[in-house]
Structures are given as C-alpha cells and as structure tokens.
Amino acid sequence: MFSSRAMFYSLVIMLLSCLAVDAKPKILCLHGGGGSPSGLKGALSDLEAALPEFKFVYAQGPYGSSSEALWIKDSPGGKEEPTTDPNWSNESVEELNELRESDGPFYAILGYSQGAAYVPIYLSKVPNGTFQMAITFCGYLSTVHEGLMGVLDNKSPFGNIPSLAWMGKQDELIINPMTKAMAAKFTNPVIIKSQNGEHYPPGDSDNTFDQVVNFIRDGDNSTPAPAPGSPTKSPTVDETKPPTPDKTKAPSPDNSFCTKKQRFVFTVEIATDSKASKETRYYIQQQKKGKFKNVKKVKKLPNNEKYSKNFCLKKSKCYRFKIVDTKGGFDGKDNYWKVSKDGDFLDYGYMEKSPEMVKFGKCKKKS
C-alpha cells in the first residue's frame, strides 16, 4: 500500500514539475533568412541565460532547406519584379499556426533579420492579442512583396502591441533607416541603437543588452533604463530617429497642368541637405524594351529646403524614380525623399546608400 501511495505521489510531483516548466511565459523565435533554429539559439544564448524565467521556442522556416531556411520565398523576378500575392508566405503562416497550437500560448514573438521582417507580417495574419509583445533584431520591411505589405499596412499597428526594435549602427546589411521604417508600423515602438552593434543580436558584452532584457521583463513601451554603472559610452534608446514622412495621403497636387486623359500626377518631395545643389539629383525613367531610360533629369536642388515638384506622366507606361547623391547619402538625420502618385503615397527613403529607386505606373509584375 505504501509503495503504491509513494508511486502515486511521485507521479503527481512529476506532473506538477512538468506543468511548472510549461507555466513559463514562452517566446516564439524566428531565425533569419538562410538560417536555422539552432543558429538563432546560439545567437540568443546570452539572452536566454539572462531570462531564465522565460522559455524560448525556436521555429523552422518552411522554405529553402533545414539548414538554410526562409520565412518568405524570393520573388522570381528579383527586387525589380515585386510579388503581389497577399498569401505569398502562407506556408510560414501555417507552420507558425501549428506551432502555436502544439506549444502555445506564447507571451511574445521575436525575430532576427528576415525573421524580424516576418514578425509584423505574421501579426497581420493572426488576431490582435495573440502575442503580448514583439521583439525584433535587425529588422526591415519586405517591400518587394507588395501583397504581404498591403495586408500588413491594413492591420498595423496590430492592436498597439508593445514592441522593441534593436539595431546596430555598424550593420551594413540592414541599415538603420530600414529598421526604423519597420518600427514605425507599431505604436510608440522602443528603438534601441547599439553604437558598436552589427548584423547580429546583442550579447551580454553589448552596452544595450540590459535594455533589451529590461524591456522583455517590463512588458511595456516605456523607455528602458540604461545599464547600472554605465557612463556616457552606454547607448540608450535612440533619440535620433529621422522624421517619417506622412504615408497616408500627400497634399493634393495641382492638376491644372495635367488635364490630358490617361495621365497622372507624380509628386517628388525631398527634404534636402546643405549640399543638395551640388550632390543630389534625381531621374524619372521610362521602361522601353526592357530597359529604363531617362525622361526627366533634375539637379541643382535647393539646399536645406523642403523641395516639391509635380510631373504629368502617362498611365499606360512603366516608370522608375531614381535618386542619387554623389557623396553616397544625405548629410543629416532630418533629410529624406518621398514620392506619391495622384496624392497617394508610394515610397520614401533616407539616402544612406546611393542610388535608391522605386518602380511605379503600369509595370508588368510576376506573382
């Protein structure tokens, strides 16, 4: 009798132990493009060790191979031929839905690089409140997939979910303005910028590491405190975020000069820097026989001004806007470019690399 009772209590204790482990809040982790769950687990080993009260669950992207997996398959035509299918990454949605059913619920969703880019896409595919927090490292927007971006834009800001976007100043693959553009899809995102960080999640030797840990523990969008004892060298939440141009509706363009049928007004807006007259120029190019050729060339822009110009273009043609800075980029954090079509926002950028381009008009697209 005693033996049976002892066995019973042993089973109860084992069951309670299992439940205690599963009671830890779980973080769903998405690896980078061409990465793997094991690779991300290694990259986040310091973060896991600093947060033993959480359980990190690593998902596997369904595209590519097991060792070089993707969350979004590439566009067949590359960056010049965007996809338009809103269900372009459905296999990833199904994979994560199944993982949520088997291992959930999850407290937070975390992504690195392409996994970070997929965080807002997946949030656009699930009900608000599915996660309590979003954490991204080296993130960006997958603008080449226009169908996915349309769904994302319609669902943003995802029920005002608390969000953190971490970026490294030395990241040459995903430059900081790309991360800031992704963060802008959330309400009051906390943006943490590591002065020494590169294209890799921060380890415990990074001065911003404690800020990331504090944010995950705090669970809100308040500014994380700097690491105790860290003097002036310790980076804090980035306060130098460039202004995000209004992406909803541009000022109604003056259509008086563009009265012909089958035409539209294309608007270029540039917040120029102190050397724009000598260094910045832009082109409007039309696609002819598969190649883009200049139809408009504008240079000698005014310095330190909010420049705007309208063009009357044919609706039946495919165009490309191309902006160039001969010194490689704008000088200040307040400089940007933005383009609109008949007052509807198309795209914008901060010119940290030159040139930057965007296609518009009636262009053939491969889905």
DSSP letter string over 272-324? --TTHHHHEEEEEEEEETTEEEEEEEE--PPTTSEEEEEEEEETTSEEEEEEE
Asked if residue 75 has pLDDT above 70, the reply is: yes
pLDDT at residue 22, as a whole number: 57
pLDDT digits (tens, 9 = 90+) for 43-56: 999 999 999 999 99
Chain centroid offset of residue 15 CA: 41
Report pTM: 0.59
Buried b (16+ CB within 10 A) or exposed e, 226-246: bbeeeeeeebbbbeebbeebe
Is CATH 3.40.1410.10 the classification given to domain 13-218?
A: no
Arithmetic mean of pLDDT over the chain: 84
Q: Which helix (H) or strand (E) holds 16?
A: helix 2-22
User: Is the separation of the CB atoms in 301 and 256 below 8 Å?
Assistant: no
Question: Is-cis flag, bond preceding 243, omega within 30?
Answer: no
**pLDDT score of 170 more than 70:** yes
Question: Does pLDDT of 364 surpass 90?
Answer: no
Average pLDDT (296-325) is 91
Q: Cis peptide leading into 105, omega within 30 of 0?
A: yes
Sign of CA dihedral 289, 295, 301, 306: negative
Burial of 23: CB neighbours in 10 Å, binned 0-12, 13-18, 19+: exposed
Percent share of the chain, pLDDT over 70: 81
What value does the mean pLDDT take over residues 145-149?
Answer: 94
For 212-238, the pLDDT digits (tens) are: 999 999 875 543 333 333 332 333 344
The DSSP secondary-structure symbol of 223 reads P
Percent of the chain at pLDDT exceeding 90: 55
Cβ contact 344:249 at 8 Å: yes
Strands 336-341 and 263-271: antiparallel
Confidence of residue 352 (pLDDT cuts 50, 70, 90): confident
Where does the chain hold its CATH 2.60.60 domain(s)?
A: 263-361
Residue 305 corresponds to which tokens in the numbers above? 């001004």
CA distance 326 to 281: 8
Q: For the range 51-55, what are the long-range contacts, defined as Cβ-Cβ under 8 Å and sequence gap of 24 or more? A: 51/213, 51/216, 51/217, 53/24, 53/25, 54/24, 54/25, 54/26, 54/27, 54/107, 54/216, 55/21, 55/22, 55/24, 55/25, 55/26, 55/27
pLDDT digits (tens, 9 = 90+) for 244-259: 555 444 444 455 557 6
Q: Please say whether the beta carbons of 326 and 310 come within 8 A.
A: no
- Residue 101, C-beta contacts closer than 8 angstroms, at least 6 positions apart: none
Which residue shows structure tokens 């971006």? 149
Q: Are 28 and 57 in contact (CB under 8 A)?
A: yes
Q: Pick the range with the lowest mean pLDDT from 51-55, 91-95, 102-106, 251-255.
A: 251-255
Q: Is 347 helix (H, G, I), strand (E, B) or coil?
A: strand
Q: Which amino acid would we find at residue 29? A: C
Q: Residue written as tokens 């973060």?
A: 47
Q: Report the half-sphere exposure of 263 (CA within 13 A, side-chain side).
A: 12
The CATH architecture of the domain made up of 263-361 is Sandwich (2.60)
Ranges of CATH 3.40.50.1820 domains, the chain: 13-218
